[in-house]
Homo-oligomer: A and B are copies of this chain.
Amino acid sequence: MKLKPIEDHLVVKVPSETEEKTIGGIIIPDTAKEKPQIGEVLAVGTDEDLQKIVKVGDKVLYGKYAGTEIEVEGEKLLILSQDDILALVE
C-alpha cells in the first residue's frame, strides 16, 4: 500500500511530539508566530519544478498548519504542496 502524491504534492513523515521540538539542533520556539515543523520526504509528485527542489529522503521545514494529515499502517503522514515548503534542512 502506497500513497502517490499528485503533481506538485509530496508526502512527508510527521515527527512525533517529542521529536518535533528539537531535530538536529533546530529548536522551534514556543513563541514563534507560526511554528514550523520538520518532516522527512517519503514521496514526491510528478511536477518537474518540485522534483528539482526536493527528493525522497530530504528533510523539509513546513508551517505547522500546512497540508492534510493521514495515517498509513500506523505511521503519521502529511500531504503537502510545493508552496508549503519553507526550506530544506541539511
Contact = CB atoms under 8 A, between A and B. Distances in A.
Contacts of A4: 87-90
B11 A71 contact: no
A1 B24 contact: yes
Interface residues of A, number: 39
Interface of A: 1-7, 9, 11, 24-29, 31-34, 36, 53, 61, 63, 65, 68-74, 76, 79, 85-90
Given A1-B26, A28-B70, A72-B25, A33 B65 contact: yes
Given A3-B90, A5-B86, 6 more contacts: A3-B87, A3-B89, A26-B72, A26-B73, A27-B71, A27-B72
